Amino acid sequence: MAGFVKVGTTGDIAPGQGKRVEVSGKKIALFNVDGTFHAIDDACTHRGGPLSEGELSGNEVTCPWHGAVFDVKTGNTLGPPATKGVSRYNVRVSGESIEVEV
């Protein structure tokens, strides 16, 4: 059953940064894009690199292993070597709490 789960607070992730969180056994990359939070699968579809450790530039995160680029708003792939996007998750902020829907 899907529902929102608290994964942290707004102070946990600085703007322009990402962090890995685990929700219901799923590894999720949570990003702060100028105060708006986005969540996608943490594993790159190319070779499983940790997207939460990638470089964030605007809405784009670059996988630290092989350079694939993903849109953190949609999960779509924007650059090779990955050819398939990742799942995205709804995020809501309640006060200072960040919640992800899984």
CATH number at residue 46: 2.102.10.10
Residue 27 burial by Cβ neighbours in a 10 Å radius (0-12, 13-18, 19+): middle
Structural domain total, the chain: 1
Q: Which domain holds residue 29?
A: 4-101
Provide the token pair at 20.
Answer: 């890995």
C-alpha distances out from residue 17 to 13, 24, 25, 86, 92, Å? 6, 23, 22, 18, 17
Query: How does pLDDT run across 51-71, given as a tens digit for each residue?
Result: 999 999 999 999 999 999 999
**Across 33-59, average pLDDT:** 97
Q: pTM of the prediction?
A: 0.95
